[in-house]
């Protein structure tokens, strides 16, 4: 299958300006295309990864990605999918976030020999005078049409600032600049960006007299109908290892709902489509499929060595789904020598000061410190639900405290649920 057919087979295609024209373009030219990311934080989370995976497939097929990190548009704030305006960030924070996101995205996209371009729209948007912008593009944008965009219409009851209303114009201008200066012919992004993206194709047609296209990717939801990318405790799963450890990243994928595994593997692994469908057959070994998904997703984000270690650590603790490797796969997981990788449990540390505090270190508070829940109230609910144990001894008292006796053997294992745990050590 050609790249457009593969994108469709994997579920990446939601809307296109002209399906036949896009398929022909991708089949006959080496196309420069772009995806934009606003640096609203200093790390991406897994909810951001769907367009990144589409970029990887496109690059593998020979096309050239332009990765735009919006140092200028982040100053405005995209209203799409938001009920209220985004908090205003300082220019220093935005610049720091831009650098962090460019570094993270470069893990997924090859940059050598001109195979990709990384750009920051602050390089052109911040140099344009307001009156110059109005004169250049203001007559092309119909207020009536902008008001009909879903990103605008959905915010009218709650209130939409004039600042945010301009976002669509800036995104359209980005596409025009990238077409003019780089020859970019295709924009890709989430389905909530459709109105902004179509505005860009119209601007280019009317200002430059060129035909370009856009294609949206569906918003990914979890099995509960919520936006994909959060743990059972409601925490985002980040690419930054200081915010989500490699092991927790692996476990997020390993704990995927059975009904989601095939879809997630089609999106987030490079394995061939036919192989994925065979591995994820409901009559087969679904837990092995989850191991493969977790291994491949972790390998992409953190590297092969980190993925091997996370796989062996989880398997050592909970058991391997396919110890004899009966499920045939081209995934690198099949070649992992489990005896050569040191299993390391994810670790949390407490200080002597926390233990010696007159109020003591409660187990609900420790659960929060260890990243196993978000609040003390969540911790108490976990205990009341019988989900918490220390060295496999269930905790039943929500008021129980951690003391130095718990560290008699140097550390202990704190568990919240079946597959979330930490080795807790005392920091000297």
Catalytic residues: 40, 45, 48, 82, 86, 171, 192, 227, 230-231
Instruction: Report phi then psi at 132, rounded to 5.
Output: -60, -40
Beta bridge partners of 215: 16, 188
Beta bridge partners of 103: none
Beta bridge partners of 213: 186
Is 32 flagged in the annotation as binding? Answer: no
Is 167 flagged in the annotation as binding? Answer: yes
Looking only at the bridges linking them, the beta strands covering 64-69 and 117-120 are parallel
Q: Which long-range contacts (CB under 8 A, 24 or more apart) does 334-343 make?
A: 336/295, 336/308, 336/311, 336/312, 338/312, 341/308, 341/309, 341/311, 341/312, 342/309, 342/312, 343/309, 343/312, 343/313, 343/315, 343/316, 343/317
Is 34 flagged in the annotation as binding? Answer: yes
Report which of 35, 107, 36, 106 is spatially closest to residue 297, judged by C-alpha positions: 107
Q: Which long-range contacts (CB under 8 A, 24 or more apart) does 93-98 make?
A: 94/39, 95/71, 96/42, 97/39, 97/40, 97/41, 97/42, 98/39, 98/69, 98/71, 98/74, 98/122
Question: 352 and 361 in contact (C-beta within 8 Å)?
Answer: no
Which residues make up each annotated binding site for ATP?
A: 230
Which residues make up each annotated binding site for L-tyrosine?
A: 34, 167, 171
Which residues make up each annotated binding site?
A: 34, 167, 171, 230
């Amino acid at each position: 299958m050609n790249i457009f057919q593969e994108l469709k087979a994997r579920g990446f295609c939601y809307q296109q300006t002209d399906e036949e024209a896009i398929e022909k373009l991708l089949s006959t030219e080496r196309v420069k295309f772009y995806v934009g990311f606003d640096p609203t934080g200093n790390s991406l989370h897994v909810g951001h990864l769907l367009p990144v995976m589409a970029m990887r497939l496109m690059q593998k097929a020979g096309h050239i990605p332009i990765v735009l990190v919006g140092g200028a548009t982040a100053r405005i704030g995209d209203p799409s999918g938001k009920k209220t305006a985004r908090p205003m960030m300082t220019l220093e924070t935005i610049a720091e976030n831009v650098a962090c996101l460019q570094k993270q995205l470069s893990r997924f996209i090859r940059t050598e020999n001109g195979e990709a371009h990384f750009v920051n729209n602050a390089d052109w948007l911040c140099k344009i005078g307001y009156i110059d912008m109005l004169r250049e593009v203001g007559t092309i944008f119909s207020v009536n049409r902008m008001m009909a965009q879903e990103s605008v219409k959905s915010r009218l009851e709650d209130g939409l600032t004039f600042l945010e209303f301009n976002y669509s114009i800036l995104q359209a201008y980005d596409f025009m600049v990238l077409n003019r200066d780089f020859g970019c012919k295709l924009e890709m992004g989430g389905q909530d960006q459709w109105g902004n993206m179509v505005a860009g194709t119209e601007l280019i047609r009317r200002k430059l007299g060129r035909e370009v296209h856009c294609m949206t990717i569906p918003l990914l939801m979890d099995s509960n109908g919520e936006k994909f990318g959060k743990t059972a405790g409601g925490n985002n799963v980040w690419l930054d290892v200081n915010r989500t450890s490699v092991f927790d990243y692996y476990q997020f994928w390993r704990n995927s709902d059975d009904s989601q595994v095939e879809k997630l593997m089609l999106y987030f692994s490079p394995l061939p489509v036919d192989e994925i469908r065979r591995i994820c057959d409901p009559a087969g070994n679904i837990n092995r499929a989850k191991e493969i998904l977790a291994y491949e997703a972790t390998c992409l984000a953190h590297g092969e060595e980190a993925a091997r270690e996370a796989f062996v650590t989880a398997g050592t603790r909970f058991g391997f789904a396919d110890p004899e490797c009966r499920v045939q796969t081209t995934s690198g997981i099949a070649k992992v020598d489990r005896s050569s990788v040191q299993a390391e449990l994810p670790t949390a540390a407490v200080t002597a000061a926390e233990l010696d505090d007159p109020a003591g270190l409660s187990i609900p508070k420790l659960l929060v410190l260890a990243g196993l829940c978000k609040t003390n109230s969540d911790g108490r609910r976990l205990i009341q639900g019988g989900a918490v144990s220390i060295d496999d001894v269930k905790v039943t008292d929500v008021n129980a405290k951690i003391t130095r006796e718990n560290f008699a053997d140097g550390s202990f294992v704190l568990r919240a649920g079946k597959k979330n745990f930490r080795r807790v050590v005392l920091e000297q």
